């Protein structure tokens, strides 16, 4: 599955955090306080998450589509650096 509860943290996941003002943001450095969910670091999984609105369901708010663009960018950038 693409979205994991915060207890199952692993390095190869992207952390999304719901901030106090209700916006969900990507938290690359694991610094933002708030309720979080983890997405696979995989473009297919991000696309699927976007389609199924699983983050919206997890956090019970509307997700800004820009978040998914940001996630995709992040995966692309990290992928280039990892080899
Ligand atoms: Zn996944």
**How far does the centroid of ligand 1 lie from the alpha carbon of residue 46, in Å?**
7
Interval 23-61: pLDDT, tens = 999 998 889 999 999 898 889 989 999 999 999 999 999
**How far does the centroid of ligand 1 lie from the alpha carbon of residue 22, in Å?**
24
Question: What are all long-range contacts of 14-22, with beta carbons under 8 Å and residues at least 24 apart?
Answer: 14/38, 14/39, 14/40, 14/41, 14/46, 14/71, 14/74, 14/75, 16/55, 16/67, 16/71, 18/59, 18/61, 22/61
Please report the domains of the chain, with CATH numbers, ordered by start residue.
Answer: 3-81 (3.30.1230.10)
**How far does the centroid of ligand 1 lie from the alpha carbon of residue 47, in Å?**
10
**How far does the centroid of ligand 1 lie from the alpha carbon of residue 68, in Å?**
14
The pTM assigned to this predicted structure is 0.79
């Amino acid at each position: 599955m693409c979205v994991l509860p915060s207890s199952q943290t692993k390095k190869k996941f992207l952390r999304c955090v719901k901030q106090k003002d209700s916006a969900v943001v990507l938290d690359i450095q694991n610094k933002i306080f708030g309720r979080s969910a983890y997405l696979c670091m995989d473009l297919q999984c991000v696309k699927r998450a976007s389609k199924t609105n699983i983050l919206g369901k997890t956090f019970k708010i509307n997700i800004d589509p820009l978040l998914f663009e940001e996630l995709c960018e992040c995966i692309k950038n990290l992928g280039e650096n990892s080899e």
